Amino acid sequence: MKALVLRSPNQLPEYTDTDTPIPLPGQKLVQLHAAALNHRDVYMTQGLYSRIRVPCILGSDGAGMCDERRVLLYPALEWGEQTAAQGKDFRVLGMPDDGTFAEHICMPSSYVFPMPDHLNWEQAAALPLAGLTAWRVLFSRCRLKSGEKVLISGIGGGVALTAMQLAIAAGAEVFVTSGSEEKIEKAIALGAGAGANYRNEGWDKQLKQDAGGFDVIVDSAAGDGFSLFPALCNPGARIGVYGGSLGKVNGLSMQPVFWKQISILGSTMGSPEEFDAMLRFVGAHRIVPVVDTVFPLEEGAAAFERMDRGDQFGKIVLKIA
């Protein structure tokens, strides 16, 4: 079969022929029709990931056919028994296990889920990792309720956009931040109430004035800007954190955190049960993930380069068949 294979930690994956996998007992062979990129995949090609095994087929997100059904794959393996946190054997799909940037993949049958009917292959492939991460941080961790006000930072990435869509569907009023006016406009077109450009001096005070306080903030940047969030919070607010792309947090005053009873809640991907709940919610609300661009599998290197530039709005998808 054809696949994008990582042969060395410091280069782009290679489009090449490799053996079609054979399912073990308890596994299903899935014929993939589309896959999607995540930042994790790019980090693998830049030596920014510690436990690289090569050769390895990258990719966590995949949609395809299995037993004549359209299916979506849980984007990880071995969450474990606890809902509070993943177990020691947890791993994201696509390293060290072979992933979805290929014509076929073998997956434990319990990780193969029906694909929401209203989506096409590219839209469906855009959903798993971003949707699961957004679901867990919003609902399992921050316990978002209808009518609450939500701020989502760095709109444009897959998790942030999906979190925005899920929160709007759940009845929340959603505001966004970005460094790009164009992304803010696109988010408003998708249903955000308003947005703030964090490159503008005093954006936080202006946003607080426009929006009032927030009940839930969802962030994956961390860095020094994180310290502005508690002042934007309502009493009892939750700040969900699923990344730290801008580095360590400095200058964080705990006074508003304790006085307002704020919760800062770390979150990653979730369990298969959370994945199932997310898919049902997406189906019931007919949410369509935002696709930035679609590349054929053989042009995977170009997809990686677009992801690395970071100016996408929505998911970068690979069309496989």
- Regarding 257 and contact with its own copies (CB under 8 A), the answer is yes
User: Judged by CB under 8 A, does residue 249 bind its own copies?
Assistant: yes
Site for its own copies in 64-83 (CB under 8 A): 82
* Residue of the chain from 242, 295, 304, 313 that contacts its own copies (CB under 8 A): 242
Indicate whether 243 belongs to the interface with its own copies (CB under 8 A): yes
Contact flag: residue 227 with its own copies (CB under 8 A): yes
Does residue number 50 form part of the binding site for its own copies (CB under 8 A)? no
Q: Is residue 31 helix, strand or coil?
A: strand
Touching its own copies, residues 106-145 (CB under 8 A) = 141
- Do 268 and 76 meet the contact criterion of CB atoms below 8 Å apart? no
Q: For residues 319 and 35, what is the distance between their CA atoms, to the nearest angstrom?
A: 7
Is 252 a binding residue for its own copies by CB under 8 A? The answer is yes
φ and ψ at residue 31, rounded to 5 degrees: -90, 110
**Residue 146 beta carbon to its own copies: minimum distance, rounded to whole angstroms:** 16
Q: Shortest Cβ distance from residue 131 to its own copies (Å)?
A: 17
Residues 6+ apart with CB under 8 A from 57: 3, 4, 5, 6, 18, 94, 98, 99, 100, 101, 102, 105
Select 79 or 121, whichever has its Cβ closest to its own copies: 79
Nearer to its own copies, 148 or 292 (CB): 148
Distance CA 183, CA 177 (A): 9
Q: Binding to its own copies by residue 236, rule CB under 8 A?
A: yes
Task: Show the tokens assigned to 55.
Answer: 């050769």
Asked if 302 and 6 count as a contact pair (C-beta separation under 8 A), the reply is no
Residue 251 touching its own copies (CB under 8 A): yes
230 or 314, CB closer to its own copies? 230
Per-residue x/- track, 258-297, its own copies (CB under 8 A)? xxxxxxxxxxx-----------------------------
- Residues contacting 238, CB < 8 A, separation 6+: 141, 142, 143, 215, 216, 217, 262, 263, 264, 265
Residues 156 and 313: beta-carbon distance below 8 Å: yes
Applying CB under 8 A, which of residues 8, 250, 310, 311 lies at the interface with its own copies? Answer: 250
Minimum CB–partner distance for residue 19 and its own copies (Å): 33
- Rounded to the nearest whole angstrom, what is the least distance from the CB of residue 263 to its own copies in the complex? 5
In whole angstroms, give the CA distance from residue 112 to residue 191.
31
Tell me, by CB under 8 A, how many residues bind its own copies: 35
Please say whether the beta carbons of 171 and 146 come within 8 A. Answer: yes
Q: Is 23 exposed, middle or buried (0-12, 13-18, 19+ CB in 10 A)?
A: middle
For its own copies, give the closer residue by CB, 91 or 319: 91
Per CB under 8 A, residues contacting its own copies are 82, 84-86, 141, 222, 226-227, 235-236, 241-244, 248-268
